[in-house]
Amino acid sequence: MDLLNTLVDKGLRRETPTRAEALAVLATTDDELLDVVAAAGKVRRHWFGRRVKLNYLVNLKSGLCPEDCSYCSQRLGSKADILKYTWLKPDEASQAAAAGLAGGAKRVCLVASGRGPTDRDVDRVSDTIKAIKEQNEDVEVCACLGLLSDGQAERLREAGADAYNHNLNTSESTYGEITTTHTYADRVDTVRKAHAAGLSACSGLIAGMGETDEDLVDVVFSLRELDPDSVPVNFLIPFEGTPLAKEWNLTPQRCLRILAMVRFVCPDVEVRIAGGREVHLRTMQPLALHLANSIFLGDYLTSEGQAGKADLEMIADAGFEVEGAGEVTLPEHRASGGCGSHAGGGACGSHDGAGCGSHEDAGCGSHEGGGVCGSAPAPAPAASADEPRPDLVAVRRRGAGTDLAPNA
């Protein structure tokens, strides 16, 4: 296929595809899907080999967010039956992080719901970062706290943060349909503040909210322009009790095409499969490792993910290997220059609105996608690929903010 040969050549040269080429990837048929995966896989292996970076979410403060992000279970007015708790103490957060690190994670993503941190909140998170790094000197720490005010990114960097996550989530033209309490420009400003402070910028998207192919291409091209080191790709988790609870628009094949398009547009960037992979990729998750080089280990912010042990088995069975703590995530040309050079140079990723990259609540501050814990939901009767699967959406009841152990 001439299109795929062209995209591989461009990806190996770090050349941006055209919008028409990106749209054509999303328009490929299921019969062409394995060819698409194989082509994007060549680009992924060129820049990242067969390494898979593991990231671990710690939800520092869950629920009760004043923002109205439609996709988020922690949003204002959410009726989702999620865990709600205020700030974890630094030692509690450090203990939660230790579980993920023991499971093989090299990056911890500290997420908190809310519009953005106060200066006191930044002090709290700074103390938490120091507590985690005292116990684990080589760990990468990414903060995901919502919209940043002037000077806050610099303070987080001074405290030892390596990265900051804040997702764009969707295209600028449709952003107002998803959120009204802040703007797309607010999100762009926060990513730029992180960059300017010397933090590795992490910013991604949420697919499955009813957007068009053009919206997906718009947001990915906007991300390419912002040049984050890490791009988390979230797939909407339609939580009951949120405005998007009925949005079941994704199939495993659609998810793979989206990941392939992101890889072609952002060839040398850490592409992370974030919230919703268990719900929408399901048994196709191993194929997605040929496109993305990073995943979250275990649970998310407010929902349960695949058990950490199952994640590790999946990576090994698919012929990949877990990236070691001493390995640099990004290619040399990125890792040696500024943003991506810290602690192995990766990026963050958990989502929640603010961006760590996991989505779940992907809204203002951290959310959905975040969390840490959980066992995989019980198997359900077989369903066709395009049918809703609410049985796969499990609210997190373990890990951070509870007395139960996580599932890392």
H/E/C letters for each residue in the chain?
CHHHHHHHHHHHCCCCCCHHHHHHHHCCCHHHHHHHHHHHHHHHHHHHCCEEEEEEEEEEEECCCCCCCCCCCCCCCCCCCCCCECCCCHHHHHHHHHHHHHCCCCEEEEEECCCCCCHHHHHHHHHHHHHHHHHCCCCEEEEECCCCCCCHHHHHHHHCCCEEECCCECCHHHHHHHCCCCCHHHHHHHHHHHHHCCCEEECCEEECCCCCHHHHHHHHHHHHHHCCCEEEEEECCCCCCCCCCCCCCCCHHHHHHHHHHHHHHCCCCEEEECCCHHHHCHHHHHHHCCCCCEEECCCCCCECCCCHHHHHHHHHHCCCEECCCCCCCCCHHHHCCHHHHHHHCCCCCECHHHHEECCCECCCCCCECCCCCCCCCCCCCCCCCCCCCHHHCCECCCCCCCCCCCCC
Type of residue found at 111: V
How are beta strands 107-112 and 51-61 bridged, if at all? parallel
Tokens of 248: 């079941």
> For residue 384, what pLDDT is reported?
52
Length of the chain: 408
Q: Does the active-site annotation cover 356?
A: no
Q: Which of 44, 157, 254, 272 is catalytic?
A: 272
Judge whether 131 and 88 are in contact, CB under 8 Å.
Answer: no
Residue 364 is among the residues annotated as catalytic for this protein: no
> Torsions phi, psi of 200, nearest 5?
-70, 120
Predicted local distance difference test score (pLDDT) of residue 357: 45
Dist CA 263 CA 208 (whole Å) = 18
Which of 65, 144, 348, 364 is an active site residue? 65
Q: Choosing from 142, 144, 266, 348, which is the catalytic residue? A: 142
- Residue-level pLDDT at 337: 59
Q: Give the active site residue among 107, 115, 124, 202.
A: 202
Residues of the chain with pLDDT under 70: 337-386
Please tell me the distance from the alpha carbon of residue 362 to that of residue 187, in angstroms, as a whole number.
12
* Residue spans per domain, the chain: 5-392
The pTM (predicted TM-score) of the whole model is: 0.89
Q: What pLDDT score does 354 carry?
A: 37
User: Can 272 be counted among the known catalytic residues?
Assistant: yes
Is 255 an annotated catalytic residue?
A: no
Query: Can 65 be counted among the known catalytic residues?
Result: yes
373 as an active site residue: the answer is: no
The pLDDT of residue 338 is 42
Angle at 345 between CA 292 and CA 91, to 5 degrees: 100
First-last CA distance in the chain: 41
Which is catalytic among the residues 44, 75, 109, 334? Answer: 109
Q: Is 187 a catalytic residue?
A: no
What residue type is assigned to position 282 of the chain? R
Does domain 5-392 sit in CATH 3.40.190.170?
A: no
